[in-house]
Amino acid sequence: MSARVRISLGLAVATGAAAALFIVDDAYLMRIATLGAIFAILALGLNLTAGHLGLFDFGYILYFGIGGYTTALLTLRAGWSWEAALVASVLMSVAVGLLVGVVVLRLRGPYFVIATFSFLTVAYYVAINWKEVTNGPLGLIGLPAPAFNLPAIGRVEALDPAGALAIALTGLLIAVAVVWRVVESGAGRAWHAIRDNEDLAASVGIDATAYAFLALAVSAGLGGLGGSIYAGYVGIVTPEIFAFGHMVNVLLMVVIGGTGTFLGPIVGAFLVETVPELLRVAESFRLPIFGLLLIAAILFAPQGVVSLRPWRALRAGRPRVPPVPPVEEGPA
C-alpha cells in the first residue's frame, strides 16, 4: 500500500469517526473528543522536539499556558476577538519559545530536561504571584466563548458541544498539516540526523542550532494554538494550566502513541483522553487500572501503539494474522 493510499485511508477513518460523533450528537462523547483533539495538537508539538529532534522538553506545557493566558488577557482586558487572540497567542508562544531556546538549546540530555522544567516551574509561580496581571490563583474567568458565522455552515459556537468539537478539530487539522509539511520539508531529515548523531550531522554541514530553534519554535507555536483553543473552550485560565499533570499527560500521549512517528501522538492523545473515561465503570479502581494499562503499553509496545503488529499489518495492507509463535530452538 503506497503512502498515498495509507494517507487517504487514515483521512477516511478520521473523517468517518468525526462524522459519527457529530451524527450521534452526544455532549459527553463530544467533550471527550474535543479534549482529545486539543491535546493531540500539544502531543504533535511535543513530538517535534522529543521525537524528531531527540530533546525531551519537560516544560512543554509552558507554551500551552502562555497561549491560554495570552488569549485570556487579550479577550478580557483588551477586548480582542478570540480569533485575533488565537493568532497573537501562537506568535507569543513562538517568541517565548525562541527566548527559552537561547538558554535551553545550549544544553543536552538531562540538563535540557531540567532547564525546560525549570522554565515551566517559574511560569507557574509567576502566574500565581503576579496578581495585577494574572489575578493570581483565582485566574482569569469568563472568557467569551469563540463564536462565528460561517457561510454554508451557519453559526459555530464553542458553548455548543458540536461547535467546540468543530473548532478543536479544525485546530488539529491545521496542526497536522503544519507538522506534516515541516517534517517533510527536509527539516525532518535534519532533525533525525541531529537526534541520531549530532557530531556526525555537524560534520556534514547540518546546522544543529538553527534546526533545533526551528523545532522549538514550531513546537511552541502548536502549544500556543492548543492553549488558546483550550482557554476559549473552558472559559477560564488559572495557574493550573501550567500544572505538571498536563505535562505528564502530554508526555504519555507521545510515548504511548509512538515517539517520533507521525500518527503516534494523535492516537496517543485520543487514547489517553478516552481510556480513563471507559474505565469509569470500574469506579474507584479507575486510575489504578489506567496506571496498569500504561505500564502494559510501555512493556508491550515500547515503540508506541502505532508500532504494534495489527496496526503494521493494516498499514502494509496485509491481512490481519495472529502473531506467529516463535520457533522452538534446540534439539527436538
Partner 1 sequence: MTDAPLLAVQGLSRRFGGLVALDDLTFAIRQGELVSLIGPNGAGKTTAFNLIAGFLAPTSGRVVYAGRDLTGMAPHRRARLGLVRTFQQAAVFGDQTAVDCVVAGSHVRAEAGIQAGFFGTPGARRDEASRYEAALEVLRLCGLDSRATSRASDLPYGEQKVLGIAIALASRPRLLMLDEPTAGLNAVESESVSAILDRINEQGVTVFVVEHDMRVVMGLSDRVIVLDHGQVIADDTPDRVRADDAVIRAYLGDFDIA
**Which string of x and - marks every residue 209-228 that binds partner 1 (by CB under 8 A)?**
-----x--------------
204 binds partner 1 (CB under 8 A): yes
Q: Give residue for cell 550531522.
A: 201
98 binds partner 1 (CB under 8 A): no
Cα distance between residue 54 and residue 161, in whole Å: 37
* Chosen residue from 193, 236, 289, 294 binding partner 1 by CB under 8 A: 193
55 binds partner 1 (CB under 8 A): no
Cα distance between residue 53 and residue 220, in whole Å: 14
Select 206 or 243, whichever has its Cβ closest to partner 1.
206
* Chosen residue from 158, 201, 215, 250 binding partner 1 by CB under 8 A: 201
Q: How far is CA 9 from CA 132, 304, 305, 308, in A?
A: 51, 20, 18, 18
315 binds partner 1 (CB under 8 A): no
Give me the DSSP letters along 225-239: HHHHHHHHHHSEE-G
**Residue 307 grid coordinates:** 508500532
* Chosen residue from 6, 31, 192, 315 binding partner 1 by CB under 8 A: 192
Beta strands in 109-208 (DSSP E): 140-141, 147-150, 154-157
Q: Which stretch binds partner 1 (CB under 8 A): 87-95, 116-124, 158-166, 183-191?
A: 183-191
Q: Which residues pair with 148 in a beta bridge?
A: 156
Select 190 or 297, whichever has its Cβ closest to partner 1.
190
How many residues bind to partner 1 according to rule CB under 8 A?
A: 24
Q: How far is the CB of 252 from partner 1 (least distance, A)?
A: 22
How is residue 107 annotated by DSSP? -
173 binds partner 1 (CB under 8 A): no
Closest of 265, 294, 305 to residue 51, by C-alpha: 265
Q: How far is the CB of 185 from partner 1 (least distance, A)?
A: 3
Beta strands in 107-265 (DSSP E): 140-141, 147-150, 154-157, 236-237
Q: Which residues pair with 178 in a beta bridge?
A: none
Q: Which stretch binds partner 1 (CB under 8 A): 88-96, 196-204, 235-243, 276-284?
A: 196-204
> What are the residues binding partner 1 (CB under 8 A)?
181-182, 184-187, 189-190, 192-193, 195-197, 199-208, 214
